Amino acid sequence: MKLNKQQIELFEKFCEEHNITGAEKEKKMEQFKKIVKKANYDPLEAIGIIAAHSISEPATQMTMRTYTLATQRVRLSKVTQGLPRLIEIFDAKKTLDKHMKIYLLPEYNTKEKAKKVANRIKSKKIRDIISSDSIDLVDTKIELELDSDEYRDKLKKILEKSKYDVNFRGNKVSVKPKKTDVKALRKLRLKLLDTHIDGIKNIDAVVVVKENDEWMIQTAGTNLKKVLKIEGVDVSRTITNDIYQVLDVFGVEAARNIILQDSKMALDEQGLDVDVRHLALLADIMTVRGSIEAIGRYGISGAKQSVLARANFEETKKHIVNASFYGESDHFNGVIENVLIGQVVPVGTGGVKLKVDVEKLMDSSKK
d(CA 304, CA 314): 12
User: Would the pTM count as exceeding 0.85?
Assistant: no
d(CA 268, CA 278): 14
- Beta partners for residue 144, in sequence order: 133, 173
Residue 20: name the closest of 9, 8, 12, 30 by CA: 12
Q: Are 222 and 203 in contact (CB under 8 A)?
A: yes
Q: Using the Cα atoms of residue 310, residue 311, residue 315 and residue 319 in order, give the sign of their dihedral.
A: positive
The pLDDT of residue 356: 84
The pLDDT of residue 74: 39
Interacting residues of 143 by C-beta distance below 8 A, sequence separation 6+: 133, 134, 135, 136, 172, 173, 174
Residue ranges in the chain modelled with pLDDT below 50: 64-77
Q: Using the Cα atoms of residue 283, residue 288, residue 289 and residue 290 in order, give the sign of their dihedral.
A: positive
DSSP states of 168-190 as a string?
Answer: EETTEEEEE-S--SHHHHHHHHH
Q: Are 155 and 171 in contact (CB under 8 A)?
A: no
d(CA 266, CA 73): 24
The pLDDT of residue 257: 93
